[in-house]
Amino acid sequence: MLLKCLLPFLSLALKVLGHNSTYQNPILPGFHPDPSCIFVPELDDTFFCASSSFLVFPRIPIHASKDLRKWKLVSNVLNRPAQLPGLNTAKRATSGIWAPTLRYRNGTFHLVTTLVYDDYAINATNRFDNFAFTSKDPYSSAAWSDPVHFDFPGYDTSPFWDEDGTVYVTGTHAWQVDPGIKMLPVDLKTGEVGETISIWNGTGASSPEGPHIYRKDGYYYLLIAEGGTGSGHRATIARAKNISGPYESDPANPVLTNSNTTAYFQNVGHADLFQDRNENWWAVALSVRQGPDGSYPMGRETVLTPVTWEEGEWPIFTNVSGHMHGWHLDSAPPVRQGEGSLVDSSVQINFEPGSVFPPEFVHWRFPTNGSYTISTPGHEYALQLKSSSANLTGSDGRSAEPAGQTFIARRQVHSLFKFSVTLDPSSLEMEEQEVGVAVFLDQLHHYDLGIVMLPPGTSNITSRTSNTTALIPYFRVRGITTVPAFVSPTLALTPVPSAWVGDSLNVQITASNLTHYALSAGPASRPYEQKIIGYGNGLGLTWGFTGALLGVYATTNGGAGEFDTYVKNWTYTGHGQIVEIPGAS
């Protein structure tokens, strides 16, 4: 009996290993959760993946690859504030754009997703806003349409075209109120909807969500996520002869999980299935790389695993790890079209006159017009930042600040890296004016290294110990986190050395291990004087749905005295991915 049960898995192993194709997870490192991927032979045998973006803007990145190894950012679906103005008012970091589903049909790309107002009551009728985008050119952000909204009181919506052309959308109601997977017919051109029905409640684990339907060998297969997006996360599957059910659960459920293991890759779930040019099956899923202290500040990433799916049988997924064997695919050059770079590229940005921000650059909610200008007259090859009153935490760590927050960043996409910029603090004159760099998860989880104007004698303990009205520049490291409870401490505070005052300053964030970030500074003209000012603990950035961003900010910390400051030599250098650690299996 045991041998009989193991035969499908042995068969998969032999087939995959026989092809001797290897790759490394995650395929989309860093903040790229809830993946949905497709293969489009009509576009030169290219794979495309979409992932969640929550409150960053531009939103919903689309990556493309020829060989499932080299992934290039080719466009952002949500790239114009007018497409979805409500994004700028959503509170909480868990609000925003949740799990998109990407599909291709008859020359058109369709992307269906949900804007979630996660601060609203769980049974509020306006908590979920569902809509669909289309494009005939996935390589152009501008080609993505305005959304067509449709009424569905839930999230994780996913379209399926039945054989008669009817489009059915599956999704999840607020699971605390009405758990289970729901389905309704939707006209994606007009937003008209039909009757909503319940089709499957899952296997009994919490939070049945993330549904996708596939048609194969006379069955409708329904793949979902269960167990929540934490340690109990998993993928489960059911099938039916009729799209409306009843759906029969796979006896082998869960079909994909690393729950209750010591694997480095944890929280595996929320999967999607697709085929390659040889009709072999693959699955993408989200996962985190959990460090020895339990931290995963890079957040939920996209992983890839091969699947065997024999005719009339249930699909069998390979367990996710860092080094994988998969179905054979010839190595291919990166996709040439599109607007961005390879997902794991190192980069140096010099803000050349006439240039624009790369599509990898993001803001927290919409940027404020006029706050970011490249190469202003007299400041060529620099980015001008106009300060905001709000700092990165804002008024309460949750709300959308009416005047915005001056912050621009990129995702952390390597376990080990160095991020550095050159800052000009000469325009800082008034108390609490500040410019700096941050590793930022959300408004309640970030570490900042700022150059800030304070009275002489200011210490970590008291705001000031001198009555003088003179101000001097300080280096200040602050950490905001709710892990394990909310704290907002000043981690380090030291005057800028007098020999450095008047010079441009190089400020850096580096990760040379799995648990901490080092924040350092030095005079730009004398890099050998660079010194560490303070540290940030990665566990303090392990929370919620997003992943670490690295960027620059300028703020008056709620005070008066708006100022302009300048950033040069934006450099991000990846120093390696850690995909396995001793003791993990």
Q: Specify whether the CB–CB gap between 344 and 334 falls below 8 A.
A: no
Contact by Cβ (8 Å): 371, 404: yes
Residue 285 contacts residue 268 (beta carbons within 8 Å) = yes
The widest CA-to-CA distance across the chain, in whole angstroms, is: 84
**Are the beta carbons of 211 and 171 closer than 8 angstroms?**
yes
Burial status of residue 428 (CB atoms within 10 A of its CB: 0-12, 13-18, 19 or more): buried
Element (H, E) at 551: strand 549-555
Q: Report how far residue 322's alpha carbon sits from residue 300's, in angstroms, rounded to the nearest whole number.
A: 14
Report CA dihedral (546, 547, 548, 552) to the nearest 10 degrees. -40
Q: Let me know if 344 is a catalytic residue.
A: no
In angstroms, the CA 537 to CA 551 distance is 17
Cα 320 to the center of its chain, rounded Å: 19
Q: How far is Cα of residue 542 from the mean position of the Cα atoms in its chain?
A: 13
Question: What are phi and psi for residue 95, nearest 5 degrees?
Answer: -85, 180
Q: Which residues does residue 34 pair with via DSSP β-bridges, in sequence order?
A: none
Q: What is the dihedral of CA 255, 258, 259, 262, to 10 degrees?
A: 150
What is the dihedral sign for C-alpha 486, 491, 493, 497?
A: negative
CA pair distance 495, 474, nearest whole angstrom: 4
Catalytic residue among 129, 156, 209, 442: 209
**Three-state secondary structure call for residue 527:** helix
34 in catalytic set: yes
| Contact (CB, 8 A) for 265 and 322 | yes
The phi, psi pair for 427, rounded to 5°, reads -85, -5
Count other Cβ atoms within 10 Å, centred on residue 493: 18
Non-local (6+) Cβ contacts of 387 within 8 A are: 406, 433, 435, 554, 555, 556, 562, 563, 564, 565
* Residues recognised as catalytic: 34, 209
